[in-house]
Amino acid sequence: MQLSNKKANFGTGPVFFTAISTILGAIMFLRFGYAVGNVGFLGALGIILFGHLVTIPTAMAIAEIATNQKVEGGGEYFIISRSFGINIGAAIGTTLYLSQAVSVAFYVIAFAEAFGPVFDWASDYFGMIIQDRRIISVPAVILLSILMLTKGADIGMKALYVVVGILFLALILFFLGDTAYSQSITSFPWSNHVENPDSFFKVFAIVFPAFTGMTAGVGLSGDLKDPKKSIPFGTLAATISGMVVYVFIAYKLSVSASPEDLNDPNNQMIMAQIARFGPVIYVGLAAATISSALGSIMVGPRTLQALAGDRIFPVPIINDALKKGKGDSNEPYNATIITSIIALAFVLMGDVNAVAEIISMFFMITYGSLCLISFLQHFAADPAYRPSFRSKWYLSLLGAVLCIYLMFNMNQQYAFVSIILMIGIYLIITYTQKSKEGLSKIFQGVIFQFSRRLQVFLQNADRAEDNWRPSVITISSKFFTRPSAFNLLKWISYRYGFGTYIHYIKGYFSKESHKESKQAQKRMIKAAGQGKSNVFIDTMISPSFTSSIAQSIQMPSVSGKDINMVLFDFDKKNDEELVAILENYSLVNAAGLDICILAAGDKEFGFFRNIHIWLTPHDFENGGLMVLLGYIIMGHPEWKNAEIKIFAIFPESELGTQQQRLMKIIKEGRLPISIQNVELIPLKAEVSKKDIINKKSKDSDLTIIGFRAEHLKQLDPEPFTGYDSIGNILFVNALTDKEITLG
């Protein structure tokens, strides 16, 4: 669907005037006196400051995002959805639309207040006592709706120029006014306020809608000749101009009336008593509120039309009806009808303050989201994100944080309801939409940049290994048929270590083999994701196992640090796999890496209950790493009920001496174990070490045994075979003694 008008002909002026007429609207005439009366001039400046610490970063964020992409119909919704994704954009856009529709009611309710003098005149001359302002507001909504349905945005803009002129005339006469109070004060009332005033944040919640109008012009995006130019200039100009005017209004109110008069609920039109010609204030209120209502009833239906154009509603017929436009300008006819019905419902409720707080919450969510988009885009460093206007990341962050802070300080209940409503809409849209793209698109860029900077930091940081931890790489071609090595790597990488699994594909690199490797990687990542793995997975196409090892051990670890351990695996029934590992020892040794070799059997890892570690007189340098790996593996939830049993096997004649040596090593902390977990076994001449291990560990789920580098140098498979009675075995060779204590 084409959201933008075929005859888009508006320039920057309509954006500015739509925004400024909404900013200088109902709140300014009806509630700003109440604000100054309750919090004083300094408090009013604080409200203006806080409000614009939200609106200025939002205006700059809108300007930035709008200058990066082609902005079509839908205004703020289009900007959010094309940056955050349709699902999140639609959730925020729906709440935005509701706030725009409710705003129509808010401004029309305020418009009815301008008829106070008329009601007084009718009461004095005809005895007609009219207290219910809905006699004005209900017909006003109906007439506005008819105007938009029959004439469209063009007549709305013509009327807007007239009412803006009246609005500025009213402000000029207000500033020219004088009162007896202003002549009687001897010093400036910086902080004068009524006794028992309303809290700062309650006043802020009621007044904040005065500042939200700065994005009203963005909703005309589909009607603009050049949105990239008109939106930034018009929005920022209106925001800054409105801030300056409100500062002067706060000053004028402070010096022209007492706090009690400003806070009098029966005298909301205090500005009329201050102005040089009072009746013009009522005309100005009528002009400001009707212009704001015009702006909202022009913008709201266009947001709804854009939402329907993206087919976010679960019922297709609703999308088809709401996205339908009328005429060459694609006027949102059906969307205007729905907006009018919503506005009429809120007009019948009639509470200005309650409606103001609801609007504030919805606008806060929208503004916070826009600032968050801008902030994240600064860190994502997306090459496609090249706005011609750039905000500052810290301003966007300030706007986003303040939105959340102010929401909960204004009204916690409304804040929770607003957020829950938005989350509920998001979940419904995500469930019903085919597209599942949400925050992932922009967050992937942020995470990529963070990871890149972290890797560079780690590379440049001090390399002292005060706290050694395994950084393991596995090279295997058996992921899909024998996942034992991957599972072991998964347990090591769960919390304490880092793991990289390289799936070796034998062959030469070509278009076909590359395609095969990517398909295999996708299958592996999917399988690993289902198992909640923290292992980094990749593939390696190489003509031989030797060349794949040579390439893999030169890769950096996923941690950003160097690899310090290699894990191989072989099938106990396949000696060829073991021989291939032994033949490549010299490569691994040249890199100075610890070596682990997993012998996989039919029993696999059994029931995850028992880990047996075997120490011999020649394995003291391996013992620290063996015990450490046992504890690391046991830290995984699958092994949470497991226990470690350590067996120290020595010749019978050396048992006493070796026991003392072992106790000394444990006491010094070189082996992080308790002596109660150790069983010393005498090795008799007539019994082989393998027979003892086969007997003692036949029910072990994982057996860890050390080996010496000489075995690999001599290509002798004997130390790794002959353990047919037990399950999986992890053979460990530590390059250096790991003197490690576990906390």
- For 446-467, the DSSP string reads HHHHHHHHHHHHHHHS----SS
Separation of alpha carbons 15 and 233, rounded Å: 9
148: number of CA atoms within 13 Å, CB side? 31
pLDDT at 743: 39
Closest of 4, 16, 11, 613 to residue 295, by C-alpha: 16
* 310-349 burial code (b ≥16 CB/10 A, e <16): bbbbeeeeebebbbbbeeebbbbbbbbebbbebbbebbee
Whether residue 4 has pLDDT greater than 60? no
Helix (H, G, I), strand (E, B) or coil at 256: helix
Number of helices (H), then strands (E), in the chain:
28, 10
Domain with CATH 3.40.50.620 in the chain: 601-743
pLDDT at 18: 77
User: What is the 8-class DSSP label of residue 650?
Assistant: E
382 versus 4: which is more confidently predicted? 382
DSSP of 541-577:
EESSHHHHHHHHTTSPPTTSSPP-EEEEEEETT-HHH
Closest of 487, 445, 437, 475 to residue 728, by C-alpha: 487
Contact 297, 141 (CB under 8 A): no
Contact 194, 260 (CB under 8 A): yes
pLDDT digits (tens, 9 = 90+) for 12-48: 777 788 788 778 877 888 888 889 999 999 999 999 9
Burial of 69 (0-12, 13-18, 19+ CB in 10 A): middle
| CA separation, residue 506 to residues 527, 573, 574 (Å) | 22, 21, 18
pLDDT digits (tens, 9 = 90+) for 214-263: 766 665 655 667 766 777 788 888 888 989 999 999 999 998 988 888 88
Burial of 9 (0-12, 13-18, 19+ CB in 10 A): exposed
Length reported for the chain: 743
Residue with tokens 């310090």: 564
Whether residue 558 has pLDDT greater than 70? no
Whether residue 377 has pLDDT greater than 70? yes
Burial of 571 (0-12, 13-18, 19+ CB in 10 A): middle
Query: H-helix or E-strand containing 440?
Result: helix 440-460
Separation of alpha carbons 293 and 285, rounded Å: 12
**196: phi then psi, degrees, rounded to nearest 5:** 50, 55
Kindly state which CATH superfamily the domain 12-310+319-364+405-441 is placed in.
Answer: Amino acid/polyamine transporter I (1.20.1740.10)
Contact 262, 270 (CB under 8 A): yes
Out of 373-382, 537-546, 558-567, give the one with best mean pLDDT: 537-546
Kindly state which CATH superfamily the domain 601-743 is placed in.
Answer: HUPs (3.40.50.620)
Per the DSSP assignment, residues forming a β-bridge with 460 are none
What is the side-by-side order of every strand in the sheet holding 536-542?
536-542, 498-506, 471-476, 565-571, 594-600, 729-733, 702-706, 610-615, 643-651, 678-683
Whether residue 685 has pLDDT greater than 80? no
Mean pLDDT of the 731-740 span: 74
Looking at 370-384, 499-513, 526-540, 684-698, which range is the least confident one? 370-384
- What confidence tier does 611 reach under pLDDT thresholds 50, 70, 90? very high
Work out the number of other CB atoms within 10 angstroms of the CB of residue 742. 11
Separation of alpha carbons 151 and 157, rounded Å: 11
Find the largest Cα–Cα distance for the chain. Answer: 126
First CA to last CA distance, the chain:
61
**508: phi then psi, degrees, rounded to nearest 5:** -105, 150
645: number of CA atoms within 13 Å, CB side? 18
Amino acid at 177: G
Whether residue 441 has pLDDT greater than 70? no
- What confidence tier does 702 reach under pLDDT thresholds 50, 70, 90? very high
Torsion of CA 159, 305, 424, 429, to 10 degrees: -170
Mean pLDDT of the 201-213 span: 81
Domain with CATH 1.20.1740.10 in the chain: 12-310+319-364+405-441
